[in-house]
Amino acid sequence: MNTRISRSNLTDQVAAEIAESIRSRTFKAGDQLPSVERLAIDMGVGRSSIREGLRLLQARGLVKIVHGLGTFVAPERITRTSGIVFSFTETILERGMQPRSEILQQEIMAADVETASKLQINVGEQVNRLKRLRFADDIPMALETTMSAYNRFPDLMTHDWNGTASLYAYLQEHYQVRPTSVTHIVQAVTATSTQAKLLLIPVKNPLLLVETTTYDQSGVAIEYGRSYYRADRYEYRVQLN
């Protein structure tokens, strides 16, 4: 980096210049930034302005300051947008990353009150329950449990859901059912010991719990699920029209 900036609003300009270097991938996720002294020389400002700019970027989640080691570009966040129907597979592929799944549970069970209400079926009716650990470039990103009516999708649990299989793509190809709308309920929670072990994060690290109900072309619920996303790798965006 060799960009000198003007003297007004120095902290904001320092932050903007470094952020642009991150967005343009001059500095990539995990890279260590030059020292405060080097940045001050390159940008023609004082070290205090550099430090304030870096603290501002850390608050925005773009960098991580590790005392005694330096400043590092934070892992790239994956954005999930409310109201837009995208599968996990599609979202990860769109970011230029490779999705993968590992089955944790795959079973047919009786619907409890909550599941029956979401799927608009009777309590006790059979449902497909699929629990998967979802990866992006072999990094564990989310724990996802999804349920659907067995009577409507009777062979869903015979499919191999390891690897890159997409549930939405399977429903369209085999049942001609196209997800067209979705509702999300988002909560902030902390990781249990089991979740932390699977997601390779410390216990009690923040997670985004997203409860999802997906509907088909006729407005009938086809899927109800609960997903726990790593808050250090995911952000949730609300889109209003």
State whether 84 and 175 are in the same domain: yes
State whether 170 and 63 are in the same domain: no
The answer to whether 211 and 230 are in contact (CB under 8 A) is no
| pLDDT at 85 > cutoff 50 | yes
State whether 19 and 46 are in the same domain: yes
Q: Is 33 part of any domain?
A: yes
State whether 65 and 90 are in the same domain: no
SS3 state of residue 22: helix
- How many alpha carbons lie under 13 Å from residue 70 in its C-beta half-sphere? 12
Q: What is the CATH number of the domain that holds 58?
A: 1.10.10.10
| pLDDT in the model for residue 67 | 87
Q: Parallel, antiparallel, or unpaired: how do β-strands 206-215 and 126-136 relate? A: unpaired
| pLDDT in the model for residue 8 | 47
Picking from 73, 91, 121, the residue at the C-terminal end of a domain is 73
State whether 143 and 102 are in the same domain: yes
> Domain range for residue 126?
78-238
Q: Is 3 part of any domain?
A: no
- Residue 97, classified by CB atoms within 10 Å of its CB into exposed (0-12), middle (13-18) or buried (19+), is middle
Which residue matches tokens 């859901």?
161
State whether 102 and 176 are in the same domain: yes
Q: Provide the angle, in degrees to the nearest 10, between the axes of the packed helices 47-59 and 36-43.
A: 110
Count how many residues are written for the chain: 241
State whether 41 and 109 are in the same domain: no
Q: How many structural domains comprise the chain? A: 2
The answer to whether 170 and 101 are in contact (CB under 8 A) is no
Picking from 73, 104, 120, the residue at the C-terminal end of a domain is 73
pLDDT digit string, tens, across residues 169-186: 899 999 999 988 888 889
Spatial CB neighbours of 129, under 8 Å, sequence gap ≥ 6: 105, 106, 107, 108, 109, 145, 146, 147
Spatial CB neighbours of 198, under 8 Å, sequence gap ≥ 6: 104, 133, 140, 143
State whether 87 and 152 are in the same domain: yes
State whether 48 and 160 are in the same domain: no
| pLDDT in the model for residue 12 | 86
| pLDDT in the model for residue 7 | 46
Q: How far is CA 168 from CA 55, 229, 236, 237, in A?
A: 41, 19, 20, 21
pLDDT digit string, tens, across residues 198-238: 999 899 999 999 999 999 989 999 999 999 999 888 777 66
144: left (phi over 0), alpha (psi -120 to 50) or beta: beta
Give dist(CA 175, CA 171) in Å, integer: 5
pLDDT digit string, tens, across residues 10-58: 888 899 899 888 878 788 888 999 999 999 999 999 999 999 999 988 8
| pLDDT in the model for residue 34 | 94
Q: Is 18 part of any domain?
A: yes
Picking from 73, 92, 127, the residue at the C-terminal end of a domain is 73
